[in-house]
Chain A
């Protein structure tokens, strides 16, 4: 079974803090993704990585950065958290155009 894990289920941070969200997959997938999931807005792609150290901006990259130093790990970084970044963050991985496998999500609250 493909397993995608995320470092935290719930996270509460203060405005201005630097926030790290970690995602690890155990199936040697080449592609990894970070999404935001908001009610009424669906899933929006923040960043996509198709190989180690390779990344591509998604639809809403502003305020975020990513790091992929190892194939199995994809980190999302909020350089200076703001209240409008309060959301559910989903990580996913895939082989090529195959099915995307999702993690359980991290619910981030920025106060």
Chain B
């Protein structure tokens, strides 16, 4: 079965500090992985996906197949990064177009 684990429900850092939001997955094949973000009073939206290998708003995420992880990182956190972050997995086998979401991490960046 596919599973996405985000071990931290809450994460609090100070402005300018590095931040890492952890995501581990369980899937027998090669998944597609995503990070979605929900800012206060805004709709959930895609932040980045591993196949694009982009840096969005200073965030990067590297797929580590050996450790089955897809951690989200930013070297210098900003107050506007405070939001709810969800890691999600799309199985590439079986024809399903559904996403499996983790339970989310609420990031607070303090001034």
A94 to B99: give the CA distance in the assembly, Å.
Answer: 11
Q: Which residues of A contact B98 (CB under 8 A)?
A: 33, 45, 48, 56, 58
> B34, B43, B90, B103: which contacts A102 (Cβ < 8 A)?
B43
A36-69 contact mask (Cβ, 8 Å, vs B): 1 or 0: 0000111111001010000010100000000000
Indicate whether B45 reaches chain A with its CB closer than 8 angstroms: yes
Number of residues of chain B lying within 8 A (CB) of chain A: 20
Chain A nearest CB, measured from B32 CB (Å): 7
Task: Report whether A41 and B103 are in contact in the complex, using a CB–CB cutoff of 8 Å.
Answer: yes
Indicate whether A31 reaches chain B with its CB closer than 8 angstroms: yes
Chain B nearest CB, measured from A32 CB (Å): 11
Task: Report whether A97 and B97 are in contact in the complex, using a CB–CB cutoff of 8 Å.
Answer: yes
Indicate whether B9 reaches chain A with its CB closer than 8 angstroms: yes
Report whether over half of chain A's contact residues are helix, strand or loop; otherwise say mixed: strand
Q: Which residues of B contact A50 (CB under 8 A)?
A: 97
Size range of the interface on A? Answer: 20 to 34
Q: Which residues of B contact A48 (CB under 8 A)?
A: 97-98
> A42, A96, A101, A102: which contacts B102 (Cβ < 8 A)?
A42
8 Å CB contacts to B: which residues of A76-111?
90, 92, 94, 96-97, 99-105
With A97-B90, A102-B43 as contacts: A43 and B101 at CB distance below 8 Å:
yes
B11-34 contact mask (Cβ, 8 Å, vs A): 1 or 0: 000000000000000000000101
With A48-B98, A50-B97, A58-B98 as contacts: A104 and B43 at CB distance below 8 Å:
yes
CB-based closest 10 A-B pairs: A42-B103, A43-B101, A102-B44, A99-B46, A42-B104, A102-B43, A104-B43, A42-B101, A31-B97, A97-B97
| B interface list, Cβ under 8 A from A | 6, 9, 32, 34, 36, 43-46, 49, 86, 90, 92, 97-99, 101-104
